[in-house]
Amino acid sequence: MSKNILWRKAAVLGGIWAASEIVLGSFLHNARVPFSGELLTAIGIAILVAGHRLWPERGLLWRAGLVCAAMKSVSPSAVIFGPMLAISMEGLLAEAGVRLLGCNPAGYLLAGGLAMCWALAHKAVNLLIFYGPDTVAVYLRGVEWMRLRGGFGPGNLWVPLILLFAVYFLAGAAAAVAGMCAENKTASAPAPAAERPAIKLHGGRASDGRAYSVPALILHILFIAAVMSAGRKIPAAAMLAVAGVYSAVCARYYLRARSLLKHYGIWTGVLAASLTAGLMLGSISAGFYMALRAFMLTFGFAAIGCELTNPSIRWLLERLGGGVFFETLEYAFNALPGIIAGLPPGRDFARRPLSVLGEAVARAPFLLETLGRVPVFIITGAHGSGKSELVMKLAELLRGSGKKPGGICAAGLWENGLRSGFDVINLYSGTRVKLCRREAGGSIRAGEFRFSEEGLASGLAALSGGALSEADVVFVDEVGFLELDGGGWAAPLRELSRGRKPRVLVVRDYLVERVVAYLSLDRPVIWEVGNITAAAALYELLGAIEM
């Protein structure tokens, strides 16, 4: 089967998993339910198993895990590496279980057990990373305490850990059974997707308005590496000062890091746990170091997570072969509002989890079909902002990438500092014809401009099915009052809506909402001139062409 289709299936399955974490995770957090992380992992296993029984495709599970991990990591309250590693590894281990024993109950039981075991292994790895080698000493002290009171011999230091892994494996197998039962539940009719806002790209800035910085990303990575390797070599006073300054810098420049400061309860718990561990080791300063290390690494990972959303880095990863993954994430994020809209509140989810999971997975084919919609891009801006110039630059870049632009561009003409008219350019053939001028009279007018019949005929011909048969992208510059009244390019726009080629429409900023409603556009991507570079727009177009 096509890898693109497999990635889209993974986008749906990973999106359902991410949606369950958002809905049920919020409920579990607010209810302060113990072992909420394990419960969420069990839900994820059930979703993976139910989804794999629907689509028994090789490679589906690890892809779904990677999609869910990436989706969860970009939430404002999350740190990127924890979710990315934990959830992606759960998907990978589930994939390994199915491949080892096959798409049968035994394979699904092994998949669930391995995936749940990673939840425990991830906790152990996190403790080692955030608190350092002292974690092992704390464990050994705890085992020694158990030996003295519970009878564990000196040669059985790892028995408690082995028993824990066995319990987790059985819990994962039980979650897999739930997934096999959930898949057989009868789903209700697909719920209509929630109203989706247009997606806005911000060019070289993050969603909080901060400029991206590759040097800052490198500095954060180097700082984290230094903290992890330094151990307790840094004096306590210096460590406290460094932690304070670094967290303040991160909170100043990163919204995600700033939100971490609000979680007083979490930091109080971290400090209490660290100091308790220090007492077990016989050194209160060791616990103090463990708390500061965890504090700094949390802020550092949050900052790195923000910088990794840089479009330049995304473009680089795409060049290195990661383009299909980012395209899949776009599918998943577009589907997420509809998935969440189809899920009940967290309390209902907790009361009848199997029915809810069965309904969600049964809607997966419907969600997959909706992901196949052809994307529409809108270039917008004020008068004279450079919309047509961006169209011409994109057409040039597409040709340089081996793609064929089609459609039209309205090249503006100026006279004594005043817009005097437009010529229509056929982007496929390169021919240029007079379109309109600022003249009196004429039967076809838009504002102060009189349109020539020759120019309109040329534009309509450039937008005809025959002229666009070999084009990879269709440009329509521009869609304005004339089209909203049913004239100009209105007729070919309606025909284009039934096609399968990506469209780029040029619309003035104050007409965007009217054009979106008039053409019934579904989730158009908005490019604001000045906030999007031609290179970033090209990346989006090339991804749309490959759908």
Question: How does DSSP classify residue 521?
Answer: -
Give 520-543 pLDDT, tens digit per residue.
887 788 899 988 888 888 877 876
What residues does each domain of the chain span?
Answer: 3-130+171-195+325-370, 214-307, 376-545
Angstrom distance (rounded) from CA 264 to CA 270: 10
* 1.10.1240.10, 3.40.50.300, 3.10.580.10, 2.60.40.10: CATH of 376-545: 3.40.50.300
Q: What's 206-273 look like in SS3?
A: CCCCCECCHHHHHHHHHHHHHHHHHCCCCCHHHHHHHHHHHHHHHHHHCHHHHHHCCCHHHHHHHHHH
Q: What pLDDT is attached to residue 474?
A: 94
Q: What pLDDT is attached to residue 221?
A: 83
| Per-residue pLDDT at 183 exceeds 70 | no
Which residues are CB-neighbours of 276 under 8 A, at least 6 positions away? 287
Parallel, antiparallel or unpaired: strands 418-426 and 432-437: antiparallel
| Per-residue pLDDT at 322 exceeds 80 | no
Q: What pLDDT is attached to residue 256?
A: 65
Buried b (16+ CB within 10 A) or exposed e, 385-406: bebbebbbbbbebbeeeebebb
Mean pLDDT of the chain: 77
| Per-residue pLDDT at 91 exceeds 80 | yes
Query: Which residue type occupies 401?
Result: S
Find the angle CA(511)-CA(512)-CA(514) to the nearest 5 degrees. Answer: 65
208 pLDDT tier (thresholds 50, 70, 90): very low
Q: What pLDDT is attached to residue 366?
A: 65
- pTM for the whole thing? 0.51
Give one word for 523, left, alpha or beta, with left for phi > 0 and alpha for psi -120 to 50: left
Contact status, residue 305 vs residue 80, Cβ threshold 8 Å: yes
Give 16-66 pLDDT, tens digit per residue.
887 777 666 655 655 566 677 788 888 889 999 988 998 898 999 998 988
Contact status, residue 25 vs residue 31, Cβ threshold 8 Å: no
Contact status, residue 66 vs residue 88, Cβ threshold 8 Å: yes
Residue in 167, 171, 239, 249 with CA at minimum distance from that of residue 216: 249
Find the angle CA(394)-CA(400)-CA(403) to the nearest 5 degrees. Answer: 75
Angstrom distance (rounded) from CA 87 to CA 218: 25
Query: Which residue type occupies 429?
Result: S
Top pLDDT among 55 and 272 is at: 55
| Per-residue pLDDT at 98 exceeds 90 | yes
